[in-house]
Amino acid sequence: MLVIVAPGQGAQTPGFLTPWLEDPRFAARFDWLATVAGLDLAHYGTQADEATIRDTRIAQPLLVATGLVAALDLFPHPADAFARIGAVAGHSVGELTAAAGARAITAEQAMVLVRERGAAMARAAESTPTGMTAVLGGDRDDVLATLERHGLTAANDNGPGQVVAAGTTAQLEALAADPPAKARLVPLSVAGAFHTSHMAPAVDRLKTLALSVSTHDPRTPVISNRDGQVVHDGRDVVRRIVGQVSTPVRWDLCLETMSDLGVTGIIEMPPAGTLTGIARRALKGVETFALKTPDQLDDARAFADKHGEASLIETSPTWRMVVSPAKGTFHLDPAAAGALDLAPDSALGEVASLRDRTTVTAAHGGQVVEWLVEDGDLVSPGQPLLRLHPRAGS
């Protein structure tokens, strides 16, 4: 199985876009998305210095536009992509790239949202001196306990030995003076404490904008970085994108879900390298491909051919599929078991794992055509549970 991932803020480097813009078709598509964002992204990706592109207002739109246009270069015919990609995921702002790539939202909607996301997060960061520090190594329980002691948030949990602490400048200074045992601290060059309660004002702004975003159920399963669950409801994809601005990124749980899905290959969209590096450490035996420059495109397509297989999700408009959000045991709701027709947001049951229990709902409702699992069955992330005939207009 092939998974496509999109990096978050911090992956950008000065001039990384230069070789991509040498292709007139890439340049034209990129200019269109830059126009939607109202920013000279070509300048920022080719000529701007490191300090300039570190600005949240610039970095976030730059990353999303690059990932989306590079995906079109990798898969010139989108139908070919959907026949190969098993799932998509994005780290932090990369989740907007993933959502648009999976067709839950349009590329233009993604650019408007990321422009406003970056601006709102920058304003929130300016209100209080905050920052982020990577905590590398150390015992996980000791690291988390130390962060809690200093009032810090584990804003990014990226897998074994890599947690990013976020909070006020004073809290980070206290951490530096009293670090976890056997851990190395690396202060990050970011504008604020992203993915913490300090970003709450940005959530309010995005929540208002999201009311006008039209969504579709994604053509490819989206792995949410909020909790690693597989999401197959376009409205839920957008809700999660809004909420994750002030909640931690659980990339460790995304990696766990990829493993549950049976991933064999991961391609990271440009500017690539960060997420494939994490995957090599966390997912032993899984092949990775960091797409950094356009001269790698042929090799990347060969990699996709090697690992690609179609998603289990049926995308025909005749049917609507409800899928499992996670691995576990499916417990059927008795009311749903005997129903011939389900109202929107009807509870179908729960998926129980050792960690938690997740309620599964029929977001759009519809006529029950076929149950694909039984009460007590073990299910995997993204596994179809129920086939519905859509209601008129749903």
Tell me which residues are annotated as active site.
92, 195
Name the token pair of 35: 């126009």
The owner of tokens 């409801």 is: 233
Q: Is the dihedral of CA 119, 121, 124, 125 positive or negative?
A: negative
Q: CA 130, CA 172: separation in Å to the nearest integer?
A: 8
Residue 327, SS3 per DSSP? coil
Q: CA 382, CA 220: separation in Å to the nearest integer?
A: 10
Q: CA 219, CA 86: separation in Å to the nearest integer?
A: 10
Residue 16 is classified by DSSP as: T
Q: CA 302, CA 350: separation in Å to the nearest integer?
A: 39
Instruction: Please give the torsion angle defined by the CA atoms of residues 288, 241, 134 and 281, in that order, rounded to the nearest 10 degrees.
Output: -20
Q: CA 42, CA 23: separation in Å to the nearest integer?
A: 13
* Helices 297-307, 56-74: inter-axial angle, 10-degree rounding: 70
Q: CA 65, CA 93: separation in Å to the nearest integer?
A: 11
* H-helix segments, the chain: 24-37, 41-46, 50-54, 56-74, 78-82, 94-101, 107-127, 140-149, 169-177, 200-210, 234-243, 251-261, 274-282, 297-307, 334-337
Name the token pair of 349: 């049951």
